[in-house]
Structure 1
């Protein structure tokens, strides 16, 4: 099982990367997932070139393949101008439109103030819904004052548990490439099968 973390932090050290690492550790602790981190800061030039020439460079191609082949994603962005960063959005603009379809995704963000926490609901969740990903119910926002305070570790654990549950459940149910689609059983039939007979 593969867990890919996409971090759009720009500084070193980065609170965005710190949050990404904590989420990854909490999720990996619940699954047997192999974790790979994609640092968008290192791919900025190749992302820009992809927009102008239509082809990904070697490192960007590897990152796109990792995201496409992941069983689950953790995506973390700093907040700029009350939304996700341009680098974060650019990466998801160049990915194949079907790459995230049905893929479990945990969304998270960092910012200087708790006032920007709604970025998760008005920017990130709609973006990944548009990409047809399965976004976990708990999103994690970490403002500067959240580090070392009560609440953040609990939110990290809850979100990680939700992602781990989706990864293990969906990866077991997901057909292999080329396999037939899953059989859809009408709810009435499922309900009838649960009723005691005689």
Structure 2
């Protein structure tokens, strides 16, 4: 079975980034894959100082172990000042090739303003650097405040279809590239 780990780079309560990640996870689970979301809001992670060991922060090892045991990733980030959030960048920096190399990855960005692809491109660069495989399908939600209903449902059918395509691509490509069913 395909195992996917989702990581959201927003610490804000009521985060649209976490909501987008949850929707992606639901779509992927509907295709028969197992999804675990690591909620960075619930983890105690230090700022990365370039060290290999962080014994006083057991959640660093939990992050590394969980990602190591996954076949693929969903990385979701709010776009802050034209790039990824410091939260997701720090989580990725706390890992290395040991955890990230070969991971099939889908990327999502959430913006308060107009859609662009800066954060998505930056996530692609980061994952390429650590020898990950980023799928071609990606999701950028601009003006996120108007994209979701109060119940957390997507309001746009075309955006909903893009989540379906994203999920299918992540599962299919993970199966192909990782050799799992």
TM-score, normalised to structure 2's length? Answer: 0.84
Q: Does the 8 Å contact 1:120/1:141 carry over to 2? A: no
Listed as ranges, the gaps of 5+ residues in structure 1 are 174-198
By how many angstroms is 1:146 displaced? 3.1
Aligned to 2:53: 55
Show the 5 A alignment for 1:170-185: 170-172=177-179
Aligned to 1:94: 94
Q: Aligned partners of 2:105 and 2:40: how far apart in 1? A: 17
Q: Aligned partners of 1:62 and 1:162: how far apart in 2? A: 27
By how many angstroms is 1:109 displaced? 1.0
By how many angstroms is 1:86 displaced? 0.8
Q: Does the 8 Å contact 2:109/2:141 carry over to 1? A: yes
**CA deviations over 1:65-96 (Å, ceiling 9, x no partner):** 11121011111011111100011111111102
Listed as ranges, the gaps of 5+ residues in structure 2 are 149-154
1:73 aligned to 2:73?
A: yes
Displacement over 3 Å in runs of 4+: none
1:166 aligned to 2:166?
A: no
Greater helix share, structure number: 1
Two-structure CA RMSD over aligned residues (Å): 2.1
1:129 aligned to 2:128?
A: yes
The secondary structure found in structure 1 opposite 2:179 is helix
Aligned to 1:14: 15
Q: Does the 8 Å contact 2:77/2:119 carry over to 1? A: no
